[in-house]
Amino acid sequence: MSETRIGVCNLCEAICGLELTVEGRDVLSVRGNRADPLSRGHICPKGVAIADVYVDPDRLRRPVRRLGEGADATWQEIGWDEAFDLVADNLARVIEQHGDDALGVYLGNPNAHSLGSMTHGTAMFKSFRTKNRYSATSVDQLPHQLVAHLMFGHQLFLPIPDIDRTSWFLVIGANPMASNGSLMTVPDFPQRVRDLKARGGRMVVLDPRRTETAKVADEHHFVRPGTDAWVLLAMLHELTTRSTPTVASYVDGLDTVVELVAGFTPERAEEMSGLPAEEIRRLAGELVTADGGVVYSRIGVSAGPWGTVCQWAVNCLNILSGNLDRVGGALFTTPAIDAVGTGLIGRGHFDAWRSRVRGLPETAGELPVSALREEIETPGEGQVRALLTVAGNPVLSTPDGARLDTALRDLDFMAAVDIYVNETTRHADVILPPTTALERDHYDLVFHLLAVRNTARFTPAVFDKEADQRHDWQIFREITLRTAARLSRKVPLKKRLVQRARLTASPTFLIGQLLRRGDSGVTLSKLRARPAGIDLGPLRARQLPDRLPSKNKRIDLAPAVVVEDVARLAAVPRPVGDELLLIGRRHKQDCNSWMHNSERLTRGRPRHQLLMNPEDLDARAITDGARVRVTSRVGTVEVEVAASADLMPGVVSLPHGYGHAKDGVLMSRSRDVPGVSINDLTDPELLDVSGNAALNGVPVSVSAC
């Protein structure tokens, strides 16, 4: 007998509601749940493939221990108790012998998509007192967080585009038609854009590639990679020179902004970016006169050389044009569990300490992952000797991954919490696999906070876990408690008991408690009665200054970190020569570096190629489809090239998350997925002031093989 179950997709930030038809433990079909007030029935190819992860024979279900190395490695299943003890013994040994900082931790992207990780993972990381904390944040959204911390007083108090009511939407360095939105939880982006146009609104895209999003926009303009800062500052220049801007009484620093942008003329921006000065002037004018307009920018810009300045400028544009906290502009969510207002997630800080080898500043307790490799390789006090990775694959996802791959072999001990042997976890001594999306309860603590509409939803596990499986929160609990028990460091009894109680309560229990602390009226039992989710309405305007997390309830338009970086920007000379600049690419069917085991996501036309403008191919006498050698400061890869007029001349593009061939040790079928890792070319020396990697705009040369 088949039955219908409500599920949720946790593969990207769109958090689509699912309707599954199941029979026993088999998934017969997966559809979008039309009753879901946020996703309204939307689903993408990956959502359907969520069942492929569940049934994948290569997915780990029990802990494995590595025997041998590299091509000779084999994996032996071991019991959970043995695995937990192995991890705790070794983490404690390294900490006792070499100090707290000898343990490195790396957190990957799926942590943000797992309730257990948010409730229990964070407690585990806090229990380790290492400064060597790293995550995918510093190859992603770190500039957004730093800017929110500096301007609004909290790293996750992020303004969200009011896409359902805006009339003018400027998208810079984002491709939501493929990515389904980021720092903007926006399931069904295609329909929302159609609605925007139907009500007479416009979408404008700035991107060095004519992307899927550019193709459905009203306007698209090329910008040279890495030069958006000049464009954004020129728009601010225009805003502040055509008339005297006014800002709300709770906003400080306007004079400094006016001064800072004085030299950033549209003509200067044209020289740097290629975007004509008159277009920049017109765009600034349209933002001001729009009846609710908003500027939105994402990873093409935040993972660039001036990510922090750019995200600051985006906020300034929205504020100075009167579009922050206004319907159709940029608004703050009011989630049923307010992880910001309740202090569940810390405000953030910057430069409280620095990395040992390169002296890079921390942000919100983390060091830039671009520094991880050198912290493992460089001897001395504080050297990373043991590593714990959770749901991550830094060998494929962080700059100079090839060299990190080599460095990981030098560790005394490595453990991974992951559901696959991947390019990174293959170096682990032991891998502890948690249950996956369909086997665990979910409430989204992160993405309701970033969504284009206020909703709340609790999704019980679709399938019960098998007796010999563990949820991630149970794994975090065991690692924390068993490691602590082996350390000579004395923790007061009361503190230990509180920690134990916190780690023993299930995530679902904690969600019930957190909901009661809020004033939304939503309770766990109401959510259980309405598994499609509860609609809490559109985003609210006119919430400021009361909602501001900053202690003085004010917005700072001129944080020192930004002011200093703008001065550095002003000194950059005009680009010369005809070097090629490498940018990234996301496809609908890809999910960062994993999901390449799914047949339905990997069949069809190959999409791993280097895309290059036909003019650039001609100039090098390279034919479409040829194998080419791509070289950057840090490495060389060989890959097929595909001609594409969608690429701005002078720009080449590779997707990230490819390159699974490593010593023949692979995520099984992914061996058939061709391609190379873009991060064997990206450069750990290229950083934004926040410490975020500048993954886009990497200088490369391309020649025929």
Ligand X SMILES: Nc1nc2c(c(=O)[nH]1)N[C@H]1C(S)=C(S)[C@@H](COP(=O)(O)OP(=O)(O)OC[C@H]3O[C@@H](n4cnc5c(=O)[nH]c(N)nc54)[C@H](O)[C@@H]3O)O[C@H]1N2
Residue among 121, 187, 512, 531 that touches ligand SF4 (CB under 6 A): 187
For residues 218-247, one letter each, b for 16 or more C-beta atoms within 10 angstroms of the residue's C-beta and e for the rest, the string is eebbbbbbbbbbbbbbbbbbbbbeeeebeb
Backbone angles phi, psi at 350, to 5 degrees: -145, 135
Residue among 130, 311, 333, 422 that touches ligand X (CB under 6 A): 422
Q: Where are the alpha helices (DSSP H) in 386-492?
A: 394-397, 401-407, 472-486
For residues 30-48, one letter each, b for 16 or more C-beta atoms within 10 angstroms of the residue's C-beta and e for the rest, the string is bebbeebbbbbbbbbebbb
Provide, rounded to whole angstroms, the least separation between the CB of residue 529 and ligand X.
27
Q: How far apart are CA 656 and CA 676, in angstroms?
A: 8
Considering the complex, state which of residue 11 and residue 430 has its C-beta at the smaller distance from ligand SF4.
Answer: 11
CB-neighbour burial class of residue 269 (10 A; exposed 0-12, middle 13-18, buried 19+):
buried
Considering the complex, state which of residue 47 and residue 153 has its C-beta at the smaller distance from ligand SF4.
Answer: 47
Sign of CA dihedral 222, 228, 230, 232: positive
Binding site for Mo ion (CB under 5 A): 140
Which residue has its beta carbon closest to ligand X? 300
Is residue 697 part of the contact set for ligand X (CB under 6 A)? yes
Considering the complex, state which of residue 120 and residue 457 has its C-beta at the smaller distance from ligand X.
Answer: 120
Which residue has its beta carbon closest to ligand SF4? 47
Is residue 44 part of the contact set for ligand SF4 (CB under 6 A)? yes
Provide, rounded to whole angstroms, the least separation between the CB of residue 45 and ligand SF4.
7
Residue among 168, 296, 420, 476 that touches ligand X (CB under 6 A): 420
Is residue 472 part of the contact set for ligand X (CB under 6 A)? yes
Provide, rounded to whole angstroms, the least separation between the CB of residue 181 and ligand SF4.
8
Is residue 211 part of the contact set for ligand X (CB under 6 A)? yes
Backbone angles phi, psi at 74, to 5 degrees: -130, 160
DSSP string, 9-42: --SSTT--EEEEEEETTEEEEEEE-TT-TTTTT-
> Angle at Cα 518 formed by Cα 516 and Cα 519, nearest 5°?
105
Is residue 37 part of the contact set for ligand SF4 (CB under 6 A)? no
Considering the complex, state which of residue 21 and residue 701 has its C-beta at the smaller distance from ligand SF4.
Answer: 21
Residue among 91, 102, 172, 630 that touches ligand X (CB under 6 A): 172
Is residue 657 part of the contact set for ligand SF4 (CB under 6 A)? no
Which residue has its beta carbon closest to Mo ion? 140
Residue among 584, 659, 675, 684 that touches ligand X (CB under 6 A): 584
Is residue 14 part of the contact set for ligand SF4 (CB under 6 A)? yes
Taking the CB of residue 57, how many other CB atoms lie within 10 A of it?
Answer: 8
Q: Which residue has the tokens 């975007």?
A: 275
Provide, rounded to whole angstroms, the least separation between the CB of residue 468 and ligand SF4.
28
9 binds, among Mo ion, ligand SF4, ligand X, none (CB under 5 to 8 A by kind): ligand SF4
Q: How far apart are CA 115 and CA 164, in angstroms?
A: 28
DSSP string, 291-343: SSEEEEE-HHHHTSTTHHHHHHHHHHHHHHTT-BTSTTSEEB---SS-TTTTS
Task: Copy the structure tokens of residue 668.
Answer: 């099984």
Cα distances (angstroms) measured from residue 85 to each of 78, 93, 145: 11, 12, 36
Considering the complex, state which of residue 136 and residue 317 has its C-beta at the smaller distance from ligand SF4.
Answer: 136
Provide, rounded to whole angstroms, the least separation between the CB of residue 18 and ligand SF4.
7
Residue among 6, 16, 503, 527 that touches ligand SF4 (CB under 6 A): 16
Considering the complex, state which of residue 46 and residue 596 has its C-beta at the smaller distance from ligand SF4.
Answer: 46
Residue among 7, 274, 392, 650 that touches ligand X (CB under 6 A): 392
Cα distances (angstroms) measured from residue 11 to each of 31, 53, 122, 267: 15, 11, 20, 42
Instruction: Choose one: 13-21, 169-177, 517-525, 630-638; the region binding ligand SF4 (CB under 6 A).
Output: 13-21
Is residue 43 part of the contact set for ligand SF4 (CB under 6 A)? yes
Q: Which amino acid is at 30?
A: V
Is residue 38 part of the contact set for ligand SF4 (CB under 6 A)? no
Is residue 239 part of the contact set for ligand SF4 (CB under 6 A)? no
Is residue 37 part of the contact set for ligand X (CB under 6 A)? no
Binning the chain into helix, strand and coil, the percentages to the nearest 5 are 35, 20, 45
Q: Kind and range of the H or E element at 564?
A: helix 560-570
For residues 293-306, one letter each, b for 16 or more C-beta atoms within 10 angstroms of the residue's C-beta and e for the rest, the string is bbbbbbbbbbbbbb
Residue among 391, 617, 665, 702 that touches ligand X (CB under 6 A): 391
> Angle at Cα 284 formed by Cα 282 and Cα 285, nearest 5°?
60
Is residue 225 part of the contact set for ligand X (CB under 6 A)? yes
Considering the complex, state which of residue 140 and residue 338 has its C-beta at the smaller distance from Mo ion.
Answer: 140
Q: Which residue has the tokens 């460095």?
A: 407
683-689-691-694 Cα dihedral, nearest 10 degrees: -30
Provide, rounded to whole angstroms, the least separation between the CB of residue 325 and Mo ion.
27
Is residue 659 part of the contact set for ligand X (CB under 6 A)? no
| Residues making contact with ligand SF4 (CB under 6 A) | 9, 11-12, 14-16, 43-44, 46-47, 180, 187
Using CB under 6 A as the criterion, which residues of the chain lie in contact with ligand X when the complex forms?
12-13, 108-110, 114, 136, 139-140, 172-176, 178-180, 182, 206-209, 211, 223, 225-226, 228, 298-301, 303-304, 390-394, 397, 417-420, 422, 434, 436, 472, 583-584, 586-588, 590-594, 656-657, 678-679, 682, 695-697
